[in-house]
Structure 1
Amino acid sequence: MRYLPPQGTTTSRLFRIGVFAVSVGLALALPSYGQVSPEEHAQHHPGAATAGPPSATPPAGPMSGMMGGGGMGGMGEMMEQMHGPPPKELYPSLMALPELPPERRAGLERQAHGRMQAGTALLSEGLDQLSRSAPGDDFAAMQAATARMREGLAQFESGLAAHRALAEGTSPRNVALQWFKREMSLLPPAGTAGEAGSIGVSWFHGFVMVALVAFAAAMIAMYFSKMRRAARLLQGLTGGGPPGVAPEAAAPPVRSASSAVGQAPPGDAARTAAGRRWSGRLRVARIFQETPNVKTFRLMNPLGGVLPFAYLPGQFLTVAVPVDGKPVRRSYTIASSPTQQDFAEITVKHEPGGVVSGYLDERVKEDDLLEFSGPTGSFTFTGRECKCILLIGAGVGITPLMSVLRYLIDRSWPGDIFLLYGCKSPRDIIFREELEYLQHRHPNLKVVVTVTRPEGTGWAGPTGRITKELIAQSVPDLASRYVHICGPVPFMESMKKALAELGVPAERIKTEAFGPALGRPEPTSPSAVATAEAPATGVALPTLTFSASGKSAPLPPDKVVLEVADEIGVEIDNSCRVGTCGICRVKLLAGEVTMAVEDGLEPGDKENRIILACQAKSAGDVTVEA
């Protein structure tokens, strides 16, 4: 589907403007004494009143007006009446004009006036023909009309030059020189009164130049306006946005490869570029099989060109896939480098029973379109924070670390980059070939990979989990480095403890946990929820009411609002379910709640009683807008 303007509308309007500009320019350019009626001419030249108008043969083209056509040809005929055959040079002929007898002057004036009238008639016919042909886009007729106008102008100029030579009677050299320069499109002599403007260009040429510039500017403006309208139409069809849109300002911490939670150190502000949150479609251009259960999906702008958003290394996108007719959302870290502006890649592990990861692994094919939103997140590192970085990851938690590593290498960052990566077996090492290549090519990159199940694989590297001893052996000057950790929650907790024992300050550590380690609630039947009571006391549980859907259910103290909504079929958008993405924000209409994690809230949300459904718990009755 594309926008097509009505045929001929724009072109016709533009040519009408051009015809009007040419008409006004000619009207302003033609001297007033050229418009002489036969009666006025007869009053000044009684002897010429009875003479019939001479025939005027139109010149073959613009140059023929000077080289024997309407211009020089007319002058030649007049010179022949005065002196017999015309001389080859124009200047001797005009220099002899003051010596003509009166009767030959009168005949020459009649012939000159006749050429001026014939030229005026041709100009009028040409303008009429141009006005008629412009609305219909008859380009051949337009070209013929402009040729007729040039012929008429050449005839008029030849008669006018002879008139001036006869009327002024002085300085015939200057008259001849001016006529010659006009025929050759040359500037008149400097200082000649009435022929040149303030910048040395004749007023006629100046007007024509201004008209042409205005015409060109109008065409350029119309072109860009049409391109913008077409781009907006395509963006509306695909959900895309304009290129270069930066990530959301002050966004919450990032997810890792499978719906992760970010835990930024106290006082560490979110480092995202200023901009707005983007949402739309991306095309799956390529799919790479990284390990038996991990795939990388390369995402590109369906309109072509650069991505419709910008992002920082370590941020994430949220994908929505249709499951049973309803969109289900999950967040995945962008594993590619922001320096690759034409694409972004997410690396997804197919978890057993995973709804979205299973959909991506089993049903998505190359060239499919998927709905995304984002990017957002603060688990980022750009190299400006310090001169060295230690990245520690486990399993699919390497994805945000890989984005940072690729970004620093692409920009030839001079600092040291250490990566400690733990996997179950050698076949589970994600990006193994690329890591080996990058380490060989870049001496400032040090990669240590350890596996817990090397049996029967021929693995010759470190084995076991990442320990305090392995960290101390692999990374010098540890206390001076920034550390980013991503992996399951128990893994991160053990790493933070080991780093603290090695003297790394807590404010230099950032962590990122991915969703599968956190677990997800199992569906519970509504009847079980409705009959749930506190067994110890027999006191009824608080009631959670959803105002928009008109449903309500008991709210146990160990469950959050989002879990109860899932159980009774109330739709609340969500993704990470750990309080950081902010997608499950709802308005609290009555009651009070507590939230263990509030990273997903935006400035002003608390004042407006906005809560995170995935974190909100309460000991009393609660009403939310959902």
Structure 2
Amino acid sequence: MVDLVNLVQTLTSPHHLDRYLELVKPTLTVRDMRAEITDVDRSVPGSVTLTLRPTRQWKGHAAGQYVEVGVVIDGVRHTRCYSPIDPQYRSDRRIRLTVKRHPEGLVSGYLHRAACAGMVVSLAPASGVFRLPETRPDRLLLISGGSGITPVLSMLRTLADEGYPGEVVFLHYAKSPEAVPHRADLAAIAARHSNFRVEFRYPSIVDSATGNPGGYFDHDELARVAPWFADAQAFVCGPSALMDAVREVYESQHLENSLHTEEFTLSTTPLDADEVFGAANFLASGVQAQNAGATLLEQAESAGLAPEYGCRMGICFSCTAVRRTGCTRNVRTGETNSDPDQPIQLCISAAVGDVEIDI
């Protein structure tokens, strides 16, 4: 069968077979995975929840993992990473994604505005190491903020489906109760499982009784909601401020090994002005761009190129290219590397002096 597909692939060059099949039906594919949107829910302000029906290539996901979703906007395909909110045991092979609209988010804005039943998107297999351990610990602490609720919500639903007997605390930070997606589902899960506790915090809302803000994360807050946290495994996903606060507490208690994190925003190290010189040479395109401290993906785009990318934060590896010569700095870790002919991720790499990139 594989040989037959390869033969047909050769005969249908210059485009691959799926490119012709999609002209007949967008979800008719041999190798590429796609998904049809079957339902769109915009009931939570600023967010949209999409139900997807994947093609036969879909193999499911582990709670906490993410998928790459691709859409075509003005003739250009863009991909982004989103975490399914479903338990990993969903039997009907559907996927639900809750996408928060960001002010400058091209894809999130497009999906919030234009997604409709019948739309077909590209889909990549689930991936990521932010997932529940196969052997479940006796106690679990799930912490999220904003759109970071999606992977930990999948974890909570999976534990509920399993009839998990241990103790679980789900702590979520949001701007307001109305901004919490699936709030009713969370309350229902807590009502059905006496060993599950769901709590919400709204730091921007002042408590009318005390006159204090709705609560920020610190050691005292952690001890209140989960006094057993030192004996638990913690999974955290949210904005940088929340992630930093959680890390600070766990590091102060020497509990780094029990903390598992996933970030949806790119945290960068401080820029050293001495590194900003020279030029980036994009060999295959014959384009050169003077270094300005931006990532190589941003420099390529500013120079008129359109390299493939997905998450723009070093997760999906869609923007990987070969650095032929020169030195680059990982903007997340600050580490530099100058080994020749090495693959790098353009979205988290910045040039240090002259570099040659094979795009």
* TM-score (normalizing by structure 2): 0.82
Match of 1:473 in 2: 224
Instruction: State the distance in 1 between where 2:228 and 2:159 align.
Output: 20
C-alpha deviation, 1:464, in angstroms: 2.2
Q: C-alpha deviations, 1:495-549, integer Å up to 9, x for none?
A: 1212344x3610111112223x759xxxxxxxxxxxxxx9x99x99312111111
Q: C-alpha deviations, 1:566-625, integer Å up to 9, x for none?
A: 101112111222222111100122223232458xxxxxxx89611111122232321111
Equivalent residue runs for 1:521-560 within 5 Å = 541-556=277-292, 558-560=293-295
Match of 2:346 in 1: 613
Match of 1:98 in 2: none
The gaps in structure 2 that reach 5 residues or longer are 1-20, 334-338
Q: Is the Cα–Cα contact under 8 Å of residues 439 and 446 in structure 1 kept in the other structure?
A: yes
Equivalent residue runs for 1:332-343 within 5 Å = 332-341=82-91, 342-343=93-94
Shift in alpha-carbon separation, 1:456–1:586, aligned structure 2, 3 A: same
Equivalent residue runs for 1:397-408 within 5 Å = 397-408=148-159
Q: Does 1:432 align with 2:183?
A: yes
Secondary structure (helix, strand or coil) at the match of 1:287 reads strand
Match of 2:263 in 1: 513
Shift in alpha-carbon separation, 1:464–1:476, aligned structure 2, 3 A: closer
Equivalent residue runs for 1:51-62 within 5 Å = none
Q: Is the Cα–Cα contact under 8 Å of residues 573 and 584 in structure 1 kept in the other structure?
A: yes
C-alpha deviation, 1:240, in angstroms: 6.4
Q: Is the Cα–Cα contact under 8 Å of residues 580 and 597 in structure 1 kept in the other structure?
A: no
Q: What's the % identity of the aligned pairs?
A: 25
Q: Is the Cα–Cα contact under 8 Å of residues 27 and 120 in structure 2 kept in the other structure?
A: no
Higher helix share: 1
Instruction: State the distance in 1 between where 2:189 and 2:38 align.
Output: 24
Structure with the larger RCO, 1 or 2 (CA within 8 Å, 6+ apart)? 2
Match of 1:285 in 2: 38
Secondary structure (helix, strand or coil) at the match of 2:129 reads coil
Q: Is the Cα–Cα contact under 8 Å of residues 316 and 331 in structure 1 kept in the other structure?
A: yes
Q: Is the Cα–Cα contact under 8 Å of residues 397 and 487 in structure 1 kept in the other structure?
A: yes
Instruction: State the distance in 2 between where 1:542 and 1:573 align.
Output: 24
Q: Does 1:309 align with 2:47?
A: no
Residue 411 of structure 1 is aligned with which of 159, 162, 169?
162
C-alpha deviation, 1:455, in angstroms: 5.9
Match of 1:318 in 2: 68
Residue 173 of structure 2 is aligned with which of 412, 422, 427?
422
Shift in alpha-carbon separation, 1:493–1:290, aligned structure 2, 3 A: farther
Instruction: State the distance in 2 between where 1:582 and 1:376 align.
Output: 11
Shift in alpha-carbon separation, 1:301–1:372, aligned structure 2, 3 A: closer
Q: What letter is aligned with 1:559?
A: A
Q: What letter is aligned with 2:49?
A: T
Shift in alpha-carbon separation, 1:385–1:302, aligned structure 2, 3 A: closer
Let me know the Cα RMSD of the aligned residues.
3.1
Q: Is the Cα–Cα contact under 8 Å of residues 240 and 279 in structure 1 kept in the other structure?
A: no
Instruction: State the distance in 2 between where 1:551 and 1:609 align.
Output: 20
Equivalent residue runs for 1:138-537 within 5 Å = 238=26, 279-301=32-54, 308-341=58-91, 342-382=93-133, 384-454=135-205, 463-501=214-252, 503=253, 505-515=255-265
Q: What letter is aligned with 1:572?
A: P
Q: C-alpha deviations, 1:33-78, integer Å up to 9, x for none?
A: xxxxxxxxxxxxxxxxxxxxxxxxxxxxxxxxxxxxxxxxxxxxxx
Q: Is the Cα–Cα contact under 8 Å of residues 329 and 352 in structure 2 kept in the other structure?
A: no
Aligned length: 328
Secondary structure (helix, strand or coil) at the match of 1:336 reads coil
Q: Is the Cα–Cα contact under 8 Å of residues 480 and 504 in structure 1 kept in the other structure?
A: no
Instruction: State the distance in 1 between where 2:53 and 2:163 align.
Output: 25
Secondary structure (helix, strand or coil) at the match of 1:291 reads coil
Secondary structure (helix, strand or coil) at the match of 2:284 reads coil
C-alpha deviation, 1:291, in angstroms: 1.5
Match of 1:563 in 2: 298
Q: What letter is aligned with 1:623?
A: E
Moved over 3 A (4+): 236-242, 453-458
Shift in alpha-carbon separation, 1:470–1:383, aligned structure 2, 3 A: farther
Q: Is the Cα–Cα contact under 8 Å of residues 420 and 449 in structure 1 kept in the other structure?
A: yes
Q: Does 1:622 align with 2:355?
A: yes
Higher-Rg structure is 1
Match of 1:581 in 2: 316
Shift in alpha-carbon separation, 1:412–1:499, aligned structure 2, 3 A: same
Q: Is the Cα–Cα contact under 8 Å of residues 296 and 347 in structure 2 kept in the other structure?
A: yes
Match of 2:13 in 1: none
C-alpha deviation, 1:488, in angstroms: 0.9
C-alpha deviation, 1:349, in angstroms: 0.7
